[in-house]
Structures are given as structure tokens and as C-alpha cells.
Amino acid sequence: MFIGWCEPEGFRAQKSQADRLGWDYLLEGEPLRMKEHPLDSQNDLPKFLIQVKATEGSQPPRIKLSALKHLVDADLPAAIVVMFFVKDGRTSIRTLLVPVDQKMIYDTLKRVRSEEAKGKRNIHRITILVPLDRAMELSPAGEGLAKALDGMLGGTTADYIAGKVDYRKTCCFDNRSIVGRFFVPGENAGEKIGQLFLGGPRTLKVTDLTIERRRFGIPLDNDRDQFREAVLELNVSSSMSTTVELSSEAGEWTSVELEMFVTPIFDGKLGPVRLANNFLEFLIDFPKAEANLTLNYDGERTVDLEEAVAIIEIGVILARPQKSITLRFKGKELKLEMAPGEGPFAHWIPAAPVLRRIVSAMARAGRQTARRFKFADFVDWVDTHIEFLAVASTPGVNIIFNHWPDEIQLTSDDALLTPFSLECFGSRYTALIELPIVSSSRSDGGHAHRWSAPCCIRGGAGIECRYV
């Protein structure tokens, strides 16, 4: 009866020689070819696997679990056609099409795994009721079959098959579906495990590792792996972010945002807390009552201008004998004095203020450059321009003019105004600098003026098409 419905609906039907693979008919639809598109790009050839079930009465028929799994496993669209007959009737009084959709895939695979967990791998001996809750109604004579099958696809055959394959492989591998057990030797095992949660790729040597997959929450003896020795690698994401401020007694200050990584609590003891970004790491070890700050100024790293200037600013603060660090978190703050000692960055001190002005001017102008460069190249540029940068930032510097009009006498109430222009990695920074005079003297070598802290009256930045 079913095979007589297919041709009027545009399908060619091939009957299975033996019903051992879960389907009775393979339907092939006539491909629709459109003249406005080239033939070589029209590759959709609809094919369907159909299992036909008949029953007398109103109750759903039963189907072997193995047959249902065959329909789930097939890389083709599949469906079950259910025909209802009255007793001794020759034509169906009702016909339904049940698609093998994601819900049926989920329920079938879960039932199969559940039966295997009970030791029942002969699933061809198990039958279940055909689920009719998502069935589509056809006419008793099969009219509407093509429309129902097209609606089941919801798009191209290729997309449907890809989605079916992906869902079949991945469904219900969530909610702690993979469980691992291992042993960490040594008295400080808890500390070793805690180190894995401090961010970044970290490894740990373990023994007696067992990995158990619990799909649908059901463990199986044949779905686990065991290793005598193994190396675990973990790269956890941060739990939250916080702001860290660094300052020195000389007045330098900067603020950076760091990601926070917290170790689990073992035996009621709080482990280390790590705050870090691409170039700065702050590790607080509460059990040992100590903290360490690490600045990554590796010259081979690729950075943008904002990051490069931030490294310079932090280096300047670390070069001071007295400095502190302040952590701000959820409205609370923790200020820690850093140990005495001067970092090897004192040569950056004259450069930091002007570099920050350049970055701020670019941000105000909305002309941030996306150019990235090696940090070593930036340091070389700073070293090359350090004296020029010092003019706009360093007090107490003498400037000598070989030719100075005798009638112009400067006092401490006067100031010099000088333009300041600098090309920096694709940008030009221009400013007007005020140099307040502290003292003025005249000698055979010329006229010397000494100024206090320079002041930037106006500054701006623009992006140029050329790079320096």
C-alpha cells in the first residue's frame, strides 16, 4: 500500500530486501533544477529512509530498539510511517509520519545506553512504543507525504544530515558527563593541585588516572580510560577582574586591570591568589604571608602602544626606592607597601609622562592606531628620543642660548613657550610646552636658563599614512 503512495508524491521507492537495518523503503525525490543557477552548484538530492508500521486499534505500534537505533545512526533523513486500521480493514483510517528528530535521537540513545548499563546489549529483543507526540498527520491515502518530509528537513538535505550527525555525536555530553580521578603523590598534593587554577597553561604529573564518560549520566565499564602515569594540563579562565594601582613616593601613579585566579580551598586553608594580564603578574600567597610582583618586559613580545606605555610606567614606579600597590575589589581596597629596592628602569623616568600624554591625546582624538610592534623596537625608540622627551617632563634642566638679546631679562616670574612635535609609531604628537624659569645667568658661552617642572598647555595627536 505504501509504495503506491510514493510516485504521486514525487518519490521513487526501493524496498529493502530484508528488514535488518531498520528501514523498509528508501525514497528518492526528483531533484528540482533551476535555470537561473548553474547545474554544478545544485547538488541537493533528497533521500529518505522510511520504516512502515501498521496497527489495528488506537494504540501506537511497537518497534524494535535496534531498528530505531538504525534510523538514528543512518546519515540520511529518516521517519516512521504509522498506519491505523480497523480489524480486517484493507485501507488505513489514519496515517501519521513520525520524524526521527533530535528528541527521538536523544531518547533512543539514552535508552540504548541505559539497557547496556543493565547488561542488555541484545537490543533487538527490546521493543518500545513508537512515540506519536510529534507526529505529522497525513491523509489515509498518503496525501501530504512530500510536504511532511520537506517540512521535516527544514532546509537542504545536506544541512539536515550535518545537523543530525553533529547532534548524534554530541548530545548529552554536558553536566559533568566526563569525570576524572587521579592520585597526586607527595605531602603537598593540595598545593600542587591548587597551582593548576592560577591561570595560563599549567601541568601536573599524576598517577592512576581514570577518565570515565557518563553520557546521559550513565557510566559504562567499557567507556572509560585508565593510565598508570599521566600529565594533566589545565588552562582555567579567570573568575573575575579587578583594578590594581601602583604608585611611588615621587608621585608616579598608574592603574591596570588584572584578571583574578583563585585556588580551591584544601583542608580549610586559602591558597594563593594570582592577578595577571599580558605583562603584569601579582601573586599573593596568604599561607606564606608574602606577595610577588613580576613585570614581563620581554623585547620579543608583540604589543600595541597602550601596552608598551603601561610597561614603561610600571617600570618607572618599580625604579623608585619606595612604592606601593593598591588592590580595589567590590568597593574595598587593600594597600600593600612594596619591599625597598630599585628596579633597572630608572632610564625610563624622563619618558613616561610624555608617553602617557601621547596615548591620552590619541584616545581623546578617537584616533587609536591598531599597529603592533615588538617591545624591543619601542624601547629602542624611547632610548633614541629620551633627551627630547625629557624636555617636556623633567624639571631642573639647563638650556643655553648662544645668541640672546641683551634687552630681554628673564626672572622667576617668566616662562618660555616652545612647540613640541614628535613622531611615534605612525602618529604625530604636537604640543605647546611651558617652561617656568627658575634662574637665569649670562656667561661667555651664552645665556643659560634653568626651569622647573614643564607644563603641557595644549597637545594633540593625529594619524599619518607613513611610519617612522
Please list, in sequence order, all residues whose beta carbon lies within 8 angstroms of the beta carbon of residue 406, skipping any fewer than 6 positions away. none
pTM for the whole thing? 0.61
**Within a 13 Å sphere around the CA of 429, how many CA atoms are in the beta-carbon half?**
24
Q: Which helix (H) or strand (E) holds 292?
A: strand 290-295
User: Where do we find the cell 606577595?
Assistant: 291
pLDDT at 119: 93
**pLDDT by 10s per residue, the chain, length 468:** 788 888 888 888 888 876 677 889 999 987 777 788 788 877 778 899 999 999 988 889 999 999 999 999 999 999 999 999 888 787 888 899 999 999 999 999 999 999 999 999 999 999 999 999 999 999 988 889 999 999 999 888 889 999 999 999 999 887 778 899 999 998 888 888 888 888 888 899 999 999 999 999 899 999 999 999 999 998 988 888 899 999 999 899 999 999 999 888 877 777 889 999 999 999 988 778 888 999 999 999 999 889 999 999 999 999 999 999 998 877 788 888 888 888 889 999 988 888 888 888 777 766 666 678 899 999 999 998 888 787 766 665 555 555 556 656 666 666 666 676 777 766 777 776 666 766 666 666 555 655 555 565 554 444 332 222
pLDDT at 465: 27
Please list, in sequence order, all residues whose beta carbon lies within 8 angstroms of the beta carbon of residue 36, skipping any fewer than 6 positions away. none
Hey, is 261 helix, strand or coil?
Answer: strand
Please list, in sequence order, all residues whose beta carbon lies within 8 angstroms of the beta carbon of residue 430, skipping any fewer than 6 positions away. 419, 420, 421, 422, 459, 460, 461, 462
Closest residue by Cα to residue 416 from 391, 431, 433, 396: 433
pLDDT at 126: 95
Q: Look at the chain and count its residues.
A: 468
For the segment 339-351, what is each residue's pLDDT rounded down to a tens digit?
888 888 999 998 8
pLDDT at 106: 96
pLDDT at 445: 57
Closest residue by Cα to residue 273 from 231, 311, 329: 329
- Which phi and psi (to 5°) does residue 272 adopt? -65, 155
Torsion 386-391-395-396 (CA) sign:
positive
Q: Which helix (H) or strand (E) holds 353?
A: helix 352-365
* Domains of the chain with CATH codes: 2-170 (3.40.1350), 178-234 (no CATH), 240-348 (no CATH), 352-463 (no CATH)
pLDDT at 208: 96
pLDDT at 462: 41
For the segment 391-446, what is each residue's pLDDT rounded down to a tens digit?
766 665 555 555 556 656 666 666 666 676 777 766 777 776 666 766 666 666 55
